[in-house]
Structure 1
Amino acid sequence: MAGAAAPVAEQPASVAKWFVLAVAIIVLDQLSKIYFNGSYQYGEQREVIPSLLNFTLLYNPGAAFSFLADAGGWQKFFFSGLAFAVSGWLGWQIVQRQFSCLMNLAAAFIMGGALGNVIDRLIHGHVIDFIQLHWQQSWYYPAFNIADSFICVGAALMVLDSFRQPRS
């Protein structure tokens, strides 16, 4: 039979590893935020790689790129609810063995990152960001954190997986 093979369903015991990975991401994210929130003053920048990478402490009450940061507070509940809904759906798909191994990895990354940021929103009212990429002193990418990184990598893995799956 020619063509790509369908993904093989995982054994029930191996499904738990994706949730363990998501929890490990949450722990790593929260430990990094505790460190930066306790070791830096708000707005303080420390150069790590000249003309490329700083560590800085910034707070984001909105979403990516401070979207809706000035919305008055309701966005905290909106983004938290959205993160719970997406994480719940992804977790359910893992449990139902609907995903390939690569998609499970992507889902674990997204769940861990999304829930790591939810913890910030519920405890602090904002997300703690501390990684700042820039080019010399002329261009700065908005600050982000480990949770954001896992969400982005997870999304990229989902796109990659969509190209790998056979069309029905």
Structure 2
Amino acid sequence: MTAAAIKTETQAELTVRIKRLEHGRDLDLPRYETALAAGCDVRAAVTQTVTLKPGERYMTPTGIAIAMPPGWEAQMRPRSGLAAKHGVSCVNAPGTIDADYRGELRVILINHGAEDFVINRGDRIGQMVFAPVFQAAFEEVDELDETVRGQGGFGSTGV
């Protein structure tokens, strides 16, 4: 069964316009690898093999740009297999792509592993998840209401 064949009553309709950039013309567009996948995989549009040494970061090009309607964002997330097998993740996970951004999508990979990691053209390097966005209205006040937690910060509720 394909992802298009499965739809729940609560899923919102979202059309994302996608533009292939010149250096991504031969690569697959993002796609959901399973029928119920939350994220669609994006691919590396590197023009030559990139070796990511332990501790290094690289802004990996994808060869695509997107346009979403207002009220939506795309989140770029690590692929769990890369993290588990190689220690490779995204530096700013999840990375937010705003609805008004029209530049090339890039995935900021970091090698947390002990070995070099090679990025080849067409490798699946990240997954993109779409989510609704709400912008808040801010109201300045002199005092905030009291809660049980109060100002208890990091670790204040125990382990």
Q: With structure 2 as the length reference, what TM-score do the two structures score?
A: 0.23
The structure whose residues are more often strand, as a share, is 2
The structure whose residues are more often helix, as a share, is 1
Q: With structure 1 as the length reference, what TM-score do the two structures score?
A: 0.23
* More contact order relative to length (CA 8 Å, sep ≥ 6): 1
